[in-house]
């Protein structure tokens, strides 16, 4: 009998102790939260609540978490590039442009470029060495963001002044030295590539094609000497600061 009475007393004490615990209820959106104290909560969906109806969602709605962005509106880009053509002529150069956003994914670029164009056809006695100083003018299509990678495309034209460092050609069986040392070219350019954020800068990798039109050639065009060619395909690497 004593054991039975002891068990009843313990059970009654536990019941009274739990009955003294204060539980606060809060309604948070479509949920009911039971708050029992710091760090001690329970929550449940309110009765007869449909989350699709509550948030006004269709059954096939996909909820996407927004990715932080840091779009570029104005920036300076510097790049290096190398190119060649099927006649073994080569070019190497540097380009710096200021980029201004016309719209969210449309930029106007303008700057300065320095290019060395070299061809050597030793077996034919043909040599060409050119120094070109140009002003790239470009329209760029593509998102430019310091937080996310993206693709880009560029259509541009680069007026340039050239200086002939060395050029020779064959006239029949006689080699004739170039007498026109300077001139003016216009070079349409097409470029494609990608932007890769690296810290606060953006690394840029791309490929390009350019065609050089000599506007002051006269009867002698140093850009076609010995069939050295005017079209170049190449690769480009740079950073957007």
Shortest CA distance to 209 belongs to which of 237, 231, 193, 228? 231
- Residue whose token pair is 């909560």: 41
Burial (CB count within 10 angstroms: exposed 0-12, middle 13-18, buried 19+), residue 128: buried
- Where is average pLDDT lowest: 134-143, 176-185, 206-215? 176-185
Instruction: Find the distance separating the first CA and the last CA of the chain, reported in whole Å.
Output: 88
Of 211 and 59, more confident: 211
- Tell me, what's the pLDDT at 174? 46
- Tell me, what's the pLDDT at 188? 95
| HSE of 156, CA atoms in CB hemisphere, 13 A | 26
For residues 167 and 222, give the distance between their C-alpha atoms in angstroms, rounded to a whole number.
7
Torsion angle, alpha carbons of 69, 72, 78, 81, to 10: 70
**Mean pLDDT confidence for 134-148:** 93
Average pLDDT, the chain: 80
- For residue 53, give Cα distances in angstroms to 30, 48, 50, 57, 58: 11, 11, 5, 6, 8
CB 210 within 8 A of CB 187: yes
- Whether 18 shows a pLDDT value over 60: the answer reads no
Of 33 and 205, more confident: 205
**Mean pLDDT confidence for 67-90:** 86
DSSP 19: H
- Tell me, what's the pLDDT at 25? 74
DSSP secondary structure string for all residues of 169-199: EEETTEEEE----EEEEEEEEEEEEEEEEET
What does the pLDDT look like over 102-126, one tens digit per residue?
A: 988 999 999 999 999 887 766 555 6
- Tell me, what's the pLDDT at 2? 55
Residue 5 phi/psi, 5-degree rounding, is -65, -35
With left for phi above 0 and alpha for psi between -120 and 50, is residue 87 left, alpha or beta?
alpha
Of 27 and 3, more confident: 27
What does the pLDDT look like over 158-199, one tens digit per residue?
A: 999 988 777 666 555 445 555 457 888 999 999 999 999 998
- Whether 4 shows a pLDDT value over 50: the answer reads yes
For residues 178 and 170, give the distance between their C-alpha atoms in angstroms, rounded to a whole number.
10
- Whether 77 shows a pLDDT value over 90: the answer reads yes
């Amino acid at each position: 009998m004593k054991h039975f009475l002891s068990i009843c007393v313990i059970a009654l004490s536990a019941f009274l102790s739990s009955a003294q615990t204060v539980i606060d209820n809060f309604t948070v959106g479509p949920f009911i939260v039971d708050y029992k104290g710091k760090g001690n909560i329970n929550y449940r969906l309110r009765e007869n609540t449909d989350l699709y109806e509550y948030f006004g969602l269709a059954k096939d709605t996909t909820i996407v978490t927004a990715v932080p962005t840091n779009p570029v509106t104005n920036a300076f880009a510097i790049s290096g590039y190398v190119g060649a053509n099927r006649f073994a002529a080569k070019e190497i150069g540097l380009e710096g442009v200021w980029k201004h956003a016309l719209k969210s994914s449309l930029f106007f670029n303008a700057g300065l470029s320095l290019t060395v164009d070299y061809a050597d056809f030793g077996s034919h006695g043909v040599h060409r060495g050119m120094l070109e100083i140009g002003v790239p003018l470009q329209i760029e299509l593509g998102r430019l963001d310091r937080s996310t990678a993206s693709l880009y495309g560029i259509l541009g034209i680069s007026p340039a002044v050239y200086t002939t460092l060395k050029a020779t050609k064959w006239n029949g069986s006689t080699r004739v030295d170039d007498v026109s040392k300077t001139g003016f070219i216009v070079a349409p350019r097409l470029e494609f590539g990608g932007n890769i954020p690296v810290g606060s800068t953006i690394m840029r990798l791309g490929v390009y094609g350019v065609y050089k039109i000599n506007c002051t050639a006269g009867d002698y065009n140093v850009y076609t000497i010995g069939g050295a060619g005017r079209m170049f395909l190449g690769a480009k690497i740079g950073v957007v600061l």
